[in-house]
Amino acid sequence: MEAILITGGAGFIGSHLVDNLLARGEKVVVVDDFNDYYSPKIKWKNIEQALKNHNFHLEQGDIRDFPFLERVFKRYPIKCVVHLAARAGVRPSVEDPILYEEVNGVGTTNLLELARRFEVPKFVYGSSSSVYGYTDQVPFKEDACADQPVSPYAATKRANELMCHAYHHLFGLKVVCLRFFTVYGPRQRPEMAIHKFTRLIDEGKEIPVYGDGSSKRDYTYIDDIIQGVVAAIDKDFDYEIFNLGESQVTDLLTLIRLIEENLGKPAKIKFLPFQAGDVPITYADISKAKKILGYNPQVPIEEGIKRFISWYKKEARDI
């Protein structure tokens, strides 16, 4: 039975994708290094149920380690690579750009090269809305200029899209690049805004707001993202880029109000200077994904925050 290889499969988005694919009977191989960017215990909890499934296989290692990855490709017949592993986050990338280039750049090229050598039919790459940088062209369309990233993280994501295209052009590798827009929901990484703010408000601590709170994001619920990723796995393309977002924007102060309402606790806001690498807005034009992938997000921010807070109260408070 051919397998779907998911890098970063013990993380937030990856573990949800694992659950979805196992539920439909797929054989899933996960590569994850369980690094300390956040507590590895969280990742182990994310795949707790998957580990009980005979169709689930875990390979622990670093995507920068070519011999390790080569052993994985030799061990399993792979029909699709879904590459989600990365050093994530705009602000940490400003502090350690070399690490981001090594993990995101070298790691991605390793996977593309092995997909070529082992003749993997499809490669799905998890990119980011950050590739658009500063732009007045909103909502963001896939054919917009994306050659002026404003953080090392964004630069690595865009560079990887271009490397994917090079492998498609030179070797015929079929690639889909998915630009994710601020994904949230159960299992969200603890340093991301919604999870971080929820915990700090719950504990009666100050929450840091960079700028005046007017920045806007296209927050996308995890179930909607997974719908788009699965569609990209199932459909056949040569090389395509798709936005996966909710296609609605919420300013930061409104987001905080929604968290307050669902937690039943007030926020203590500490306003701080605007941070380098941040952008004032992200906003996805999803008309292409709707037309070609059948992508159809269903969870507005009000419902998504309600679901997230419910999960946090039940499962995340003590993590």
Phi, psi dihedral angles at 243 (to 5 degrees): -80, 135
Cβ-contact 19, 49 below 8 angstroms: yes
User: What pTM, to 2 d.p., does this model score?
Assistant: 0.96
Q: Is 125 a catalytic residue?
A: no
User: For the chain, what is the radius of gyration of the CA atoms?
Assistant: 19
CA–CA dist 273, 157 (Å, integer): 26
Is residue 315 assigned to a domain?
no
Model confidence pLDDT, tens digit, residues 262-276 = 999 999 999 998 887
Is residue 16 assigned to a domain?
yes
In this prediction, residue 279 carries a pLDDT of 86
Residue 24 burial (10 A CB sphere; 0-12, 13-18, 19+): exposed
Is residue 140 assigned to a domain?
yes
Average pLDDT, the chain: 96
Cβ-contact 227, 219 below 8 angstroms: no
Strand partners of residue 7: 31, 83
Is residue 291 assigned to a domain?
yes
Model confidence pLDDT, tens digit, residues 280-289 = 899 999 999 9
Is residue 84 assigned to a domain?
yes
Whether the predicted pLDDT of 134 surpasses 90: no
Whether the predicted pLDDT of 300 surpasses 90: yes
Q: Give residue 97's domain range.
A: 3-184+220-245+284-298
Q: Which two tokens stand for residue 28?
A: 């899933």
Is residue 272 assigned to a domain?
no
Neighbours of 13 (CB within 10 A): 25
Model confidence pLDDT, tens digit, residues 187-225 = 999 999 999 999 999 999 999 999 899 999 999 999 999
Whether the predicted pLDDT of 243 surpasses 90: yes
Phi, psi dihedral angles at 292 (to 5 degrees): -95, -40
For the packed helices 301-311 and 252-263, what is the interaxial angle rounded to 10 degrees?
50
Q: Which of 153, 184, 219, 283 is catalytic?
A: 153
Is residue 211 assigned to a domain?
no
DSSP 226-283: HHHHHHHHHS--SEEEEEES-S--EEHHHHHHHHHHHHT---EEEEEPPPTT--SB--
CA–CA dist 252, 246 (Å, integer): 16
Please count the residues of the chain: 319
The CATH number given to whatever domain includes residue 226 is: 3.40.50.720
Number of independent structural domains in the chain: 1
First to last CA, the chain: 36
